[in-house]
Amino acid sequence: MFGRKRNLDDFTSEIEAHIQLEIERLRKQGMSEDEARSAARCSFGNLLQAEERFYESSRWLAWDQSWQDVRHGLRMLRKSPGFTAIAVLTIALGIGATTAIFSVVDATLLRPLPYPEPEQLVSIEDNLPGVGTRDVGMSQPEWQDLQRSGIFDYVSPAWYDDNNQTGSSEPARVSLLIVAPDYFAVLGVKPQLGRTFDPDNYTPGFTLEVVISDGMWKRAFAGDPHVLGKGVRLDTDLYHVVGVMPPGFQAPGRTTRNRNIEVWAATSFFGPPLLDHPPRNRRNLPTAIARLKPRLTISDAQSRMDALVASLQKQFPSDYPIQSGWNVRIVPLKEIVVGNVHQSLILLLAAVGLLLLIGCVNVANLLLARGSARRREVAVRQALGASRTRLVRQLLTESLLLSVLGGIAGLAILFCTKGLLLRILPESLPRLNAVSINWVVLLFALGASLAAGAIFGLAPALHAGRFDLTPALKEAARGSTGSGEQARMRRVLVVTEFALSLVLMIASGLLLRSFWDLLNARMGFNPQSVMTVRTRLPYPNDLKADAYASVSQKASFFREILRRSQILPGVEEAAVGDFGSVPLGHDRDNQTPPDPLILEGHEAGSDRFPLVDASFVTPEYFHLMGMTLLRGRFFNDFDNEESPGVVVINEAAAQTYWPNDDPLGKHLKLSPAATSWATVVGIVADARAESLENARVPEVYISMYQQIARNHPHHLAIFLRGNLDAAAIPNEVLEQVQAVDPTLPVFGAQQLNETISASLAERRFSMEIIALFALTALLLAGLGIYGVISYIVSERTHEIGIRIALGAGSRNILRMILREGMGLAIAGAAVGVVGAAIVSHLMTGLLYGVSPADPLTFVAVTMLLIAVAVLACYLPARRAIRVDPLVALRHE
Amino acid sequence: MSTQDARERLELLQGTLDLLILRTLIFGSQHGQGIARAIQETSEKELLVEHGALYPALQRLEERGWISAKWGVSSNNRKARFYSLTAAGRKQLVKETNKWKRLSGAIARILGSEPAES
């Protein structure tokens, strides 16, 4: 296109040739040289105009003009540094914040999981809706069914566990994932050293091979390049290292612990120490991950899975009672990994987008104000022949310049604060290490900047291109025109700003109230001055090596630990429990799967038992935790391995399972295989042990000294209450525990208050960020209304002067100005309340204890916004009442 | 701007210049001055063609691909830019000529049916 363009020189010489030809013709007709020249020029007409029209018809013009606009724009911005600084800074903060949040969204939600062909990766979820339970896991035969189903290339259950690593200098706890041999084939990842498991190895029991993480390799083997084949002792069993995963490799998992795996061990899930022939109804394999056959979509896979489930139900009616409603859902693996944070991240992105929009409205307001100052300039240019499109383009160019400068500044801020921002992010955020400023993020920043420029530039530019020239030129000296339209547009902008701010503030207010309510929820236990320290008893595959095989062996260990803990400095009370008994300090899906609850008289049908959370505790636990006994009794020293089994239940369990009965004295079992019944001896008040959000989770407490449930715990939490030295306790407990058994690791020392606040980390993060955004929005809205009212006051100085001269009191003037401001604030608030009501319903899932239409929040936040508006209007209004009528009238 | 006698000439209707240029070029390639001259002479000097207006029109036609141009030497040995009709230009000429004939015919019929003022 451009190659075909003629330049102006070519055009000029053509015209030159024309004139020469004409002169020659005329001279042949007998004219003199001079006569011919002037006649030729005359008949040609306006030479310059022809050139101009040639120039305008060519496409160079657009470029030349744009370049001109850019240079002019830069000059204008340089000429008013104050305005430019404020506008660029506003945009920079907006773009910086938006881009920062976007980079997190990009890393977590947008980018695919870091495994080959990630769209084929799924998670398999077994549900029993008939008994109200989800994700119950599968049995070994079911896993085999899935592998043979033809739906998947590979299927691997993944069983999270801790293990005790011994043999090196200090016993350590390692996070272990017990997987099927084809686990790494599912993910499709290669180790950096050695190999992974042979996917076709189905020898019974555990393969005595482990794959370790890069971190474990560096920590336990000092990065030894000859690590392959070296032994590692886990729970006293000896394994050999066969592979080392690359740095940065994370297992796909819902929680941080599930992602940061250090050791992988493989099993075929049958054979010693597991059962030789695991029954079909024993769902002890947890959630599985799988790779779909190539080109199979999730929905196709799901329908084939439904067919498989139906045929299995027909084939094994006694294992799959109709009432349990067994189904298997195929979920994209990514949903499992990022599902937890999806909603909060979208909320954050929406909030920051809203903030950017408010920033844009503010800058638009500034531009309008500047537009009135530049009225004369625009008028002069228009008088000199600049077309309206040309003027609009010029002003738009200026706005885009502002926004691009703002965007660049925003990115600069982001780059400088990157390290700090990454530290603010909650550690539990999935794919945290993937957060980066890549080209997608940069492109987003550019797009956001340009969009912002267009948004805040368009209204003022259009407005400036449409005003009447004559009065502007005439009234140049007065500096203002009382242009109704401009004032109207600024009012609209302020109303918009108020509405947007109110939406953000109400959203933030609701989150704040949720958080506050959670912090002040009646927890049902007293976390003050309680510390927990954890340890773990080994659970070797080699049963002969198990020093803690029987409950009595464990019981003597517990008694010894309790005796030694009680004499530690500052300790007033001590108790032992399993991980499940640490309030808010455990992942239920990991170490402590729920147990089936079998009530006496309702034993029929293996699948219909509800699952209940069980916590193992020593008798001291209830008093130490400050829990309230409602009826019956707590455990006592006479409840031991020889005495009949007893349990304590909470109120929620009592009301759920014995709605019309007195639970005291009733019998229950926590395993279909248990031979004897346990008796309910006490009912305690509900404690928020599972989550702060949910007060009413049925819970069964079991004595540490009795064997009632299927598994007796290996994960132990030592509870201490008293005037504790939090820094010294971990070591003191370590010494005492290792004095009893030197192979035990001691870890996870934490004050219970910290445990509780850590459980709120994600919620706190999004609440704090949104509160920050809301405060900024409030500030911007305040500045916006301040600007407009100031403008109105200066516009009306003359009128106010006359009013004062005619006897209007300062009270009247004040009322007049405030009424103006309040009108805007209330209009904005009205629109905002409607918007907030919509938004708050969308975020219901993130709220706790408040309804999305919480009147208190709505009213309080709206009042706050209006109060800020009053303040922002009061300052210019005070200026108005101080107007000296003489000066004001001379203003003319 | 124009001479006394030029005032009595007819101003060109909008858009007709293009048609006239295309028509002139049907006899072979010609430079700008030649085109202007030819239009004036074939119209028996009834039409006023401001030479300056010719060039933007030529530019426009060239951009549309109806005429093409290259530098050459005139009969009296002057360097000049010669324009010639392209195939697309030829087609356009036929189209425009038909259109013009229909238009002028229609206008002539209307004006002709008008009772003549005395």
pLDDT at A511 over 70: yes
Tell which of A15, A41, A43, A49 to mutate to test the B interface (max B CBs under 10 Å): A43
Model pLDDT for residues A683-702, shown as the tens digit of each residue: 999 988 877 887 788 899 99
Instruction: Give Cα separations from A139 to A58, A180, A203, A853, B92 (angstroms).
Output: 76, 13, 18, 45, 81
pLDDT at A598 over 60: yes
What is the pLDDT confidence band of residue A55, given thresholds at 50, 70 and 90? low
Mean pLDDT of A673-681: 87
- Indicate the burial class of A329 (C-beta count within 10 angstroms; 0-12, 13-18, 19 or more): middle
C-beta separation of A152 from A292 below 8 A? yes
Find the closest chain A residue to B81 by CA distance. Answer: A14
Does residue B73 lie in a domain region?
A: yes
Model pLDDT for residues A293-324, shown as the tens digit of each residue: 999 999 999 999 999 999 999 999 888 888 88
Q: What is the pLDDT of residue A723?
A: 93
Model pLDDT for residues A463-472, shown as the tens digit of each residue: 766 656 566 5
pLDDT at A116 over 90: yes
Model pLDDT for residues A227-239, shown as the tens digit of each residue: 999 999 998 899 9
Single-letter amino acid code for the residue at A568: L
- State both tokens at A78: 């340089």
Model pLDDT for residues A775-821, shown as the tens digit of each residue: 989 988 888 888 888 877 877 788 888 888 888 888 888 888 888 88
The ranges assigned to domains in chain A are 2-58, 61-116+341-481, 129-325, 499-524+762-892, 548-740
SS3 state of residue A383: helix
Chain B contact set for A46 (CB, 8 A): 1, 52
Between A770 and A881, whose confidence is greater? Answer: A770
- What's the gap in Å between the CA of B55 and the closest CA on chain A? 7
Q: Which domain holds residue B105?
A: 5-113
The number of residues making up chain B comes to 118
Phi, psi angles (nearest 5°) of residue A633: -140, 160
Model pLDDT for residues A835-868, shown as the tens digit of each residue: 999 999 988 888 888 889 899 999 999 999 999 9
According to DSSP, residue A85 is labeled H
Phi-psi region of A748 (alpha: psi -120 to 50; beta: other; left: phi over 0): left
The helix (run of H) or strand (run of E) holding residue A582 is none
Give dist(CA B90, CA B77) in Å, integer: 29
Does residue B56 lie in a domain region?
A: yes
Domain count, chain B: 1
Specify the range with the lowest mean pLDDT, choosing from A591-600, A710-719, A873-882. A591-600
- State both tokens at A798: 């003359």
Model pLDDT for residues A608-650, shown as the tens digit of each residue: 677 788 899 999 999 999 999 999 999 998 898 889 999 999 9
What is the pLDDT confidence band of residue A367, given thresholds at 50, 70 and 90? confident
C-beta separation of A158 from A288 below 8 A? yes
- What's the gap in Å between the CA of B68 and the closest CA on chain A? 12
C-beta separation of A737 from A596 below 8 A? no
C-beta separation of A187 from A121 below 8 A? yes
Mean pLDDT of A247-260: 88
- What's the gap in Å between the CA of A31 and the closest CA on chain B? 16
Q: What is the pLDDT of residue A526?
A: 92
Give dist(CA A568, CA A570) in Å, integer: 6
Single-letter amino acid code for the residue at A60: W
C-beta separation of B78 from A17 below 8 A? yes
A698: cis peptide before it, omega within 30°? no
Give dist(CA A322, CA A339) in Å, integer: 30
What is the pLDDT confidence band of residue B4, given thresholds at 50, 70 and 90? very low
**How would DSSP label each residue in A673-711?**
T-SS-EEEEEEE-----S-SS-S---EEEEETTS--SSS
pLDDT at A369 over 90: no
Could you say which of A13, A18, A53 has the minimum Cβ distance to residue B56?
A: A53
The sign one gets for the Cα dihedral A806, A811, A813, A816 is: negative
Model pLDDT for residues A707-725, shown as the tens digit of each residue: 887 678 888 999 999 999 9
B50:A43 CB<8 A: yes
Q: Are strands A667-669 and A598-599 parallel, antiparallel or unpaired?
A: antiparallel
According to DSSP, residue A114 is labeled S
- What's the gap in Å between the CA of B112 and the closest CA on chain A? 34
Q: Half-sphere exposure of A385 toward its Cβ, with a 13 Å CA cutoff?
A: 0
**Per-residue H/E/C for B64-87:** HCCEEEEEEECCCCCEEEEEEECH
C-beta separation of B19 from B100 below 8 A? yes
Does residue B26 lie in a domain region?
A: yes
Give dist(CA A787, CA A362) in Å, integer: 9
Q: What angle do CA A417, A420, A425 make, to 5 degrees?
A: 120
Specify the range with the lowest mean pLDDT, choosing from A108-112, A362-366, A880-884. A880-884
Chain B contact set for A50 (CB, 8 A): 52-53, 55-56
Question: How many CB pairs below 8 Å do chains A and B form together?
Answer: 71
pLDDT at A571 over 60: yes
Q: What is the pLDDT of residue A59?
A: 57
- What's the gap in Å between the CA of A51 and the closest CA on chain B? 8
A44:B52 CB<8 A: yes
- Indicate the burial class of A9 (C-beta count within 10 angstroms; 0-12, 13-18, 19 or more): exposed
Average pLDDT of the residues of chain A: 86
Interface residues of chain A, partner chain B, Cβ below 8 Å: 6, 11, 13-15, 17-18, 20-22, 24-25, 42-47, 49-50, 53-54, 57
Mean pLDDT of A336-354: 88
pLDDT at B6 over 70: no
C-beta separation of B83 from B69 below 8 A? yes
Which residues neighbour B15 within 8 Å (Cβ) at sequence distance 6 or greater?
none
Single-letter amino acid code for the residue at A196: T
Give dist(CA A106, CA A440) in Å, integer: 8
Q: How many helices (H) and strands (E) does chain B have?
A: 4, 3
- State both tokens at A494: 């302020």
Strands (E), A569-623: 571-578, 595-596, 598-599, 611-617
What is the pLDDT confidence band of residue A476, given thresholds at 50, 70 and 90? very low
C-beta separation of B49 from B17 below 8 A? yes
Q: Are strands A193-194 and A263-267 parallel, antiparallel or unpaired?
A: unpaired
Residue B77 maps to which CATH number? 1.10.10.10
- State both tokens at A836: 């907030």
CA-nearest of A576, A528, A507 to A770 is A507
Q: What is the pLDDT of residue A68?
A: 83
The distance from CA A249 to its chain's CA centroid, rounded to whole angstroms, is 22
- State both tokens at A867: 């109060």
The distance from CA A305 to its chain's CA centroid, rounded to whole angstroms, is 32
pTM over 0.90: no
Give dist(CA A542, CA A272) in Å, integer: 9
* A112 C-beta neighbours (distance < 10 Å), count: 10
> Which residue stretches of A30-139 are H helix?
33-44, 47-57, 60-79, 81-105
Does residue B118 lie in a domain region?
A: no
- Taking each helix axis from N to C end, the angle separating A797-805 and A810-842, rounded to the nearest 10 degrees, works out to 140
